[in-house]
DNA sequence: CCCCGAATAT
DNA sequence: AATATTCGGG
């Protein structure tokens, strides 16, 4: 019933104020709701205060008072949020090693630029519960629709360097929700593409717009747009159709 | 055959 | 109304 505009909320944590401001500004300009914290303490405060409201955390690795990864673990464990790390020395030892479920931990190299952040919404989205829109095609009502969680896989590109990989793939994963003892609320956005119609979220639309701008009006054809957007599971037809509107 | 934009269908 | 699918042409 309630499927409307989505605003992703991001908590940015860094002890360096200028960095905080930069990231914050970039994200804000894309309709993200941005909260900031300049210390672990403040971050935790905000985390608790906005519990259930946040979608993503972006944090500097080196924070005083705690080891970066404990912090990350803590956030993931307690708040079940995707965490993206930032630092000036990505690729260092623990960064990549100390991660069991670090699948969602993108690591960004400072200085952060807009390009680095353009994909973060995917992480937030992936972590959110997807609300599938199932539509039945046939008239038989005997339907057992238990699993309708459609999940798009996340395509992580190399940090801060543009790699042009040609990849066009379509892949769906089904994932069972394994939550039983957690109060869970707040949900809205999702993007699906299995059976149901896809949904153009505002983030998706932003990406779309950005792509067109980057290409120029005359060069903005579906194929190019699709490539620039680089969203897995998005088809050329999707883009073409959207282009008409 | 690939891909576009427009038209049309759901 | 928003997306998908089909159509005609380059």
Within A 60-99, residues with CB less than 7 Å from strand C: none
Where b means 16+ CB within 10 Å and e means fewer, A54-80 reads bbbbbbbbbbeebebbebbbbbbeebe
Check if CATH label 3.40.50.10860 holds for domain A150-177+184-244: no
Mean pLDDT of chain A: 68
Look at residue A13 in the predicted model and tell me its pLDDT: 93
Is residue A131 predicted with pLDDT exceeding 50? no
What's the CATH code, domain A9-127? 3.40.50.2300
Backbone φ, ψ for residue A57 (5° rounding)? -125, 135
Tell me which nucleotides of strand B come within 7 A of a protein CB. Answer: 3-8
Give tens-digit pLDDT for A56-103. Answer: 899 998 888 877 677 888 888 788 888 888 888 655 555 444 444 444
Distance in angstroms, CA of A200 to C1' of C3?
A: 10
Domain ranges across chain A: 9-127, 150-177+184-244
Q: What percent of chain A has pLDDT over 70?
A: 60
The protein residue nearest B6 (Cα–C1') is A244
**Lowest-confidence segment of A31-40, A65-74, A126-135, A151-160 by average pLDDT:** A151-160
Strand B at less than 7 A from CB of A136: no
- DSSP letter string over A27-76? HHTTT-EEEEESSHHHHHHHHHHTTTT--EEEEES-BTTB-HHHHHHHII
Q: What is this structure's pTM?
A: 0.54
Q: Please identify which residue in the block is written with the tokens 């998706």.
A: A204
3-state secondary structure of A1: coil
Which of these, A46, A38, A44, A88, lies nearest to A63 by C-alpha position?
Answer: A38
Q: Quick one: tokens of A224?
A: 């190019």
At residue A11, the 3 state secondary structure works out as strand
A54 has a pLDDT exceeding 70: yes
- Nucleotide nearest A222, CA–C1', reads B4
| Beta bridge pairs of residue A83 | A57
A3 touches strand C (CB under 7 A): no
């Amino acid at each position: 019933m309630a499927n409307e505009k989505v605003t992703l909320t991001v908590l940015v944590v860094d002890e360096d104020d200028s960095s905080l401001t930069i990231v914050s500004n970039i994200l804000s300009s894309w309709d993200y709701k941005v909260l900031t914290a300049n210390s672990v303490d403040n971050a935790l405060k905000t985390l608790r205060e906005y519990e259930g409201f946040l979608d993503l955390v972006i944090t500097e690795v080196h924070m005083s008072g705690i080891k970066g990864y404990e912090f990350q673990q803590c956030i993931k464990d307690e708040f079940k949020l995707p965490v993206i790390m930032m630092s000036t020395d990505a690729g260092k030892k623990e960064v990549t090693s100390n991660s069991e479920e670090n699948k969602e931990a993108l690591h960004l190299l400072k200085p952060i630029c807009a390009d680095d952040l353009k994909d973060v919404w995917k992480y937030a989205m992936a972590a959110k519960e997807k609300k599938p829109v199932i539509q039945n095609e046939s008239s038989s009502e005997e339907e057992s629709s238990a699993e309708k969680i459609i999940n798009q896989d996340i395509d992580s590109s190399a940090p801060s360097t543009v790699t042009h990989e040609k990849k066009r793939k379509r892949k769906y994963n089904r994932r069972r929700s394994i939550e039983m003892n957690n109060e869970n609320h707040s949900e809205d956005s999702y993007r699906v593409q299995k059976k149901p119609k896809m949904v153009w979220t505002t983030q998706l639309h932003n990406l779309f717009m950005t792509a067109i701008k980057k290409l120029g009006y005359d060069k903005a054809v579906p194929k190019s747009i699709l490539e620039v957007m680089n969203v897995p599971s998005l088809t050329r037809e999707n883009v073409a159709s959207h282009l008409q509107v």
